[in-house]
Amino acid sequence: MGLLQEMGWVRLHCADIERELALDYVQTLNELQALSVTLQNHAFLAREWSTLPELRGLATKSHPLLAGGSSAILELHTLGEERIVLAGDTVRVPLRKAPEVLAYFLEHKAVSLDQLLTDIFPDEKPRSAKSYFHQVRHQLKEHVEGLEIEFDREAKLYRLKSEVDILWDVAEMRAGRRVAKMGPFLPGSGNDWALMLDHALERYRTDEP
């Protein structure tokens, strides 16, 4: 499906098969380490590691950052609700669009400021929209240690940098995992990008038994 995180989950299980066949699984782990840098999430394999204890034991020595996981898990709920949860507790970010901004970066990886403002704040004046976005950046960084929306001055793009494991219900649904809710994506948004993604997710809802 071309989704990097899901591709990484599959590659990890391939590495375990390579280990069992006495093949070079270390090269696959190297590639996964590089992918974690691309995703800005060293702990994106946290759930998969729990099913591969032998491989994880080896990787803890050779790739500790990749195999170590994170002490806290950040959950982003966007199906039927809009909520950020850290280590089981709701993060009280006093800005309504914070979950949408976070979801936007998980979906798009790196974006220009103009594109982000157009997609998330289409009805706001540019100055007000820019101010709101930077407030969201500040609030997320303040409330979630290890989470930051950083600016790449060379590429002139913003991207999400995370040292915590992020579990996004949309990614879970796409990967075929059961999620607590399968309601509309970002029900309080109404923006075109959110409506288009919600439409694309309909195939997963119709596959529900």
Per residue in 117-147, pLDDT (tens digit) is: 999 999 999 999 999 999 999 999 999 888 9
Q: Which helix (H) or strand (E) holds 179?
A: none
Per residue in 48-77, pLDDT (tens digit) is: 887 788 898 899 889 888 887 555 678 899
The whole-number average pLDDT for the span 149-161 is 94
User: Nearest-CA neighbor of 147 among 90, 72, 89?
Assistant: 72
Query: Is a pLDDT exceeding 50 seen at residue 1?
Result: no
User: Nearest-CA neighbor of 107 among 131, 74, 76, 138?
Assistant: 76
Q: How much is the pLDDT for 112?
A: 97
Contact assessment for residue 162 and residue 40, using Cβ atoms and an 8 Å cutoff: yes
Domains annotated on the chain, with CATH: 4-68 (no CATH), 73-190 (1.10.10)
User: pLDDT-derived band of residue 28, with 50, 70 and 90 as boundaries?
Assistant: very high
User: pLDDT-derived band of residue 209, with 50, 70 and 90 as boundaries?
Assistant: very low
Percent of residues, the chain, with pLDDT higher than 70: 94
Per residue in 71-100, pLDDT (tens digit) is: 567 889 999 999 999 878 899 888 999 999
Distances (CA, A) of 139 to 73, 121, 147, 169: 18, 18, 10, 22
Q: In whole angstroms, what is the distance from residue 153 CA to residue 169 CA?
A: 31
- What value does the mean pLDDT of the chain take? 88
